[in-house]
Amino acid sequence: MGLCRSIKNDIKAAFDHDPAAVSTLEILLAYPGFHARQYHRLAHTLFRWHVPVLPRLISHCSRFFTGIEIHPGATIGEGFFIDHGMGVVIGETSVIGDNVTLYQGVTLGGTSQQHVKRHPTLGNNVVVGVGAQVIGDITIGDDAKVGAGSVVVNSVPPHATVVGVPGRVVAMRNPDTDTVERLPDPVGERLEDLEKRIAGLEKRQPPDKKEK
């Protein structure tokens, strides 16, 4: 795909995912996620050409101006959108599919110090919520959603919704019928049961009488 068409896809992604976007000029001038993506285009190209130092320098400048750190080695697909973006970190061996949306504070991190694939792979149409941490060489399937503040250390199937620490699948969407099936949440159910027990004990316990 040509560069101009790819940049147009980035602009379209901003309009599609951010209702506050009002004009192309605004996106070009005032969207740090868009700017970080363009910095990365250049850095990634130089990285693939094995140019020393310069790709990391460009990435460093991008972090300084946008608050977003994308390693030059990361592979990013079309229609990528970072909303707000401050604090987003994308590691070297991360692979991001098409039409992926990340919100501020997201980390695509690694767990190994070896020169191997150690960062996540995100499929197409994935959404990762505010402050979520996706760690290690795992795969987030197409159309999956990661809830805000989640810590995901295991692979996630397509069309799933993941929340919590550690992240667990709480819902699955059927793409054929566009219906969502809520899955049992043993941890949440246990906490709810404990809350009910505590409320019952409080009702049974007579209020303390004030000393006269």
Domain of 12, CATH number, reads 2.160.10.10
Q: What is the mean pLDDT of each run of 10 residues along the chain (212 residues)?
A: 90 94 95 97 97 97 96 97 95 97 96 89 97 97 96 96 92 83 69 82 69 50
According to the model, what pLDDT value does residue 210 have? 52
Return d(Cα 91, Cα 184) in angstroms, integer: 33
211 falls within a domain:
no
Q: DSSP E strands: which ranges in the chain?
A: 69-70, 75-76, 81-83, 89-90, 95-96, 101-103, 107-109, 121-122, 127-128, 133-135, 139-140, 145-146, 151-152, 160-163, 168-174, 179-182
pTM for the model: 0.85
According to the model, what pLDDT value does residue 68 have? 97
> Would residue 84 show up in a list of annotated catalytic residues for this protein?
no
Sign for the pseudo-dihedral over CA of 84, 11, 172, 136: negative
According to the model, what pLDDT value does residue 207 have? 60
The answer to whether residues 126 and 105 touch, using CB atoms and an 8 Å cutoff, is no
175 falls within a domain:
yes
Number of domains in the chain: 1
Return d(Cα 78, Cα 108) in angstroms, integer: 18
* Residue (of 190, 189, 192, 170) closest to 181 by Cα position: 170
210 falls within a domain:
no
Q: What does the pLDDT look like over 42-101, one tens digit per residue? A: 999 999 999 999 999 999 999 999 999 999 999 999 999 999 889 999 999 999 999 999
Instruction: Write out the residue range of the structural domain in which residue 127 sits.
Output: 3-204
According to the model, what pLDDT value does residue 112 have? 81
According to the model, what pLDDT value does residue 193 have? 80
23 falls within a domain:
yes
95 falls within a domain:
yes
Given 35, 115, 119, 159, which residue is catalytic? 115
According to the model, what pLDDT value does residue 208 have? 63
